Amino acid sequence: MADRKPYVAGNWKMHTTPAEAAKLAQGVVKALECFAACDVALCPPYVCLAAVGDAVRGTSVKLGAQNCHGEIQGAFTGEVSAPMLKAVGVTTVILGHSERRQFFGETDAGVHARLKGVLAEGLEAIVCVGETLEQRQQNITKDVVGHQVRAAFNGFTAAQMATVTVAYEPVWAIGTGLTASPAQAQEVHAFIRGMLIQQFGPDAAAAMRIQYGGSVKPNNAKELFSQPDIDGGLIGGASLKVEDFVAIVKAGA
């Protein structure tokens, strides 16, 4: 098995004011002092990036954003670009989260364009894919996820993919308390790894990390993360509590 360092990212979604974000980030940084067995990123709302950036500066904790437009600048009200994020210290960006796809109409083509913008700026990306409950019940999980993976990554090189993490997040498991079983998750992770092998070759695919997301908690993280193709997680609700998030990070070690 490839030697991939586990990677756990906290997706704070639309939670925290800058003051709350600073406190949460400081708590995480303090609890993870001297802990290097797992890569960690914190992805607060845009307005909290500066506060969290201050808290993580000089540590190995990465500052992440939750989205990013593909263009450098322009008449796109409400959007921010990769150079803007880079200028405030962001090094990684979540793209294609199912909430963006579901509630804000983001498409596979849009995710691809955003990824292009992020990689052009030398930032890392966490690209989310995953099926809805209906799609799982229709037995089309692999078709859906396969399509999302192909559409997002088509045209990129193996070298570019070195800074990309995939997050498999079954939509039915996000924020619902329902978690994919380790076997269910591993099956899709192995499928995604197989697609990456086809697209980018075995070496690049073996080096890429695939996170699991969807109701990861301290009590289920270890079993999920110990699956051969699960390389850590993208954590929503449980990333808002220092103890829970830190326990999940440590489960990745």
Query: Which of 236, 249, 251, 252 is in the footprint of ligand PGA by CB under 6 A?
Result: 236
Query: Which of 66, 148, 215, 220 is in the footprint of ligand PGA by CB under 6 A?
Result: 215
234 binds ligand PGA (CB under 6 A): yes
Query: Which of 174, 205, 221, 230 is in the footprint of ligand PGA by CB under 6 A?
Result: 174
171 binds ligand PGA (CB under 6 A): no
User: Is 77 within 8 Å of 49 (Cβ atoms)?
Assistant: no
From the list 34-42, 73-81, 103-111, 169-177, the region that binds ligand PGA by CB under 6 A is 169-177
User: Is 246 within 8 Å of 219 (Cβ atoms)?
Assistant: no
Task: Give 169 or 229: the residue with its C-beta nearer to ligand PGA.
Answer: 169
224 binds ligand PGA (CB under 6 A): no
Catalytic residue among 97, 106, 121, 131: 97
10 binds ligand PGA (CB under 6 A): no
Measured CA to CA in angstroms, residue 139 lies from 68, 132, 136, 149, 180 at distances of 32, 11, 5, 18, 15
DSSP state, residue 5:
P
Examine the residue annotation and report whether 169 is marked as an active-site residue of this protein: yes
Residue with tokens 């099926």: 131
Q: How far apart are CA 221 and CA 76, in angstroms?
A: 38
Query: Which of 235, 242, 248, 249 is in the footprint of ligand PGA by CB under 6 A?
Result: 235
Catalytic residue among 69, 112, 169, 189: 169
Burial track 15-41 (b if 16+ CB lie within 10 A, e otherwise): bbebeebbebbbbbbeebeeeeebbbb
Query: Which of 169, 229, 231, 244 is in the footprint of ligand PGA by CB under 6 A?
Result: 169
Residues 128-147, one symbol each (x = binds ligand PGA by CB under 6 A, - = not), give: --------------------
What number of other Cβ atoms are within 10 A of residue 183's Cβ?
A: 9
For residue 199, count CB atoms less than 10 angstroms from its CB and return exposed for 0-12, middle for 13-18, buried for 19 or more.
middle
From the list 63-71, 135-143, 146-154, 209-217, the region that binds ligand PGA by CB under 6 A is 209-217
What number of other Cβ atoms are within 10 A of residue 153's Cβ?
A: 20
Smallest distance, Å, CB 90 to ligand PGA? 17
Smallest distance, Å, CB 214 to ligand PGA? 5
What number of other Cβ atoms are within 10 A of residue 85's Cβ?
A: 25
The Cα angle at residue 14 between residues 10 and 20, in degrees rounded to 5? 75
Which residues would be at the binding site for ligand PGA (CB under 6 A)? Answer: 11, 169, 174-175, 213-216, 234-238
> What are the catalytic residues?
97, 169
